Amino acid sequence: AVAVVALRAAAPAAGVEPVLASIGTGDKSGVYYLAGGAICGFVDAERWTTGIRCLAESTDGSIDNLRAVRNGTRTFGLVQSDWQHHAFYGTDVFRQAGPDRDLRSVVSLFREPFTVVARPDAGIGGIADLKGKRVNLGPSGSGGRATMRVVMDAMGWTDESFAYVDDLAMADVPRALCAGEIDAAVAIVAHPNQSVEEMMRSCNAVLVPVNGPGIERMMDENTFYAPGEVSAGTYDGQTASVPSFAVTATLVTSSRTSPAVVYEVTKALFQNFDAFRAAHPAFADIEKERMFSEGLTAPLHDGALRYLPEAKLR
């Protein structure tokens, strides 16, 4: 009740009704949660003039966020570019639900490599060595787990190809891996990542190369996958780059979201662009020139299009 009163006491900009906008992010230990929190911080700083208050919500990840944006339980969602594509066209895990023609892109953000972390004594030197091991695939609503299913298809694997599969959130993986309960974990995360750093520091976990014929073929067949890597020196003791493939983190919403709200969120991000890039090392490579195009399958929302002329792109 207090929040509602505070919102109504604000002086909203013309055309913007007092509103609470939510952003579905990911695990609290991950970069999505930090990114959503930063964006909401920029939006909230202007709430007395725009009437918009922003809330970043921890979720299971991309699949969860896309479903929530579709059914209206969240205003915005941070999602992987591959699952934005599948949600818009109604393919893969969204086949039963059908195409989400109301899905709209807002901006493209940072790149995220598909990441495999393993115990040093697990005998896992490459992606093919996961077969027969105990592997954490991630929560069922996460984009990382869904993308792992694509990798499994490319490698000719099913759940039975592993000795054991788990669905732990990334924040719970370090304890399980270092305790020897699992041999490896897969995720799509920006780097440096807090949980990965904890595993490497606590039990000398290693980053596993993700390459080979199956992965090459998968990238050739899916244009939203691009070559990626975890650069050398990202973590203490990591002397060489680790190859993989990558997707792009994107911010999406629904066509039902007010253009005025989307405009103000986009504007808040761009007006605080340098502060956003400084919020995490993974954001340092974000370029304004790519933010309205890279990894965006769904059409740009009218509110983002409205801001485009003000974005000062070259």
pLDDT in tens, 89-114: 999 999 999 999 999 999 999 999 99
Are 58 and 68 within 8 A, CB to CB?
no
What is the residue whose two structure tokens read 């990591």?
Answer: 238
| Residues 303/266, Cβ–Cβ less than 8 Å | yes
Nearest alpha carbon to residue 134 among 177, 78, 197, 98:
177
CA 203 – CA 230 distance, rounded (Å): 19
Q: Which tens digit of pLDDT belongs to each residue from 191-234?
A: 999 999 999 999 999 999 999 999 999 999 998 999 999 999 99
Q: Hey, which residues does 235 pair with through a beta bridge?
A: none
83: nearest Cα among 95, 71, 74: 95
Residue 277: how many CB atoms within 10 A of its CB? Answer: 18
For the chain, percent of residues with pLDDT exceeding 70: 94
pLDDT digits (tens, 9 = 90+) for 28-42: 888 999 999 999 999
CB 108 within 8 A of CB 290: yes
As given in the structure block, the two tokens for residue 55 are: 């809330």
| Listed residue (68, 69, 63, 16) closest to 43, CA to CA | 16
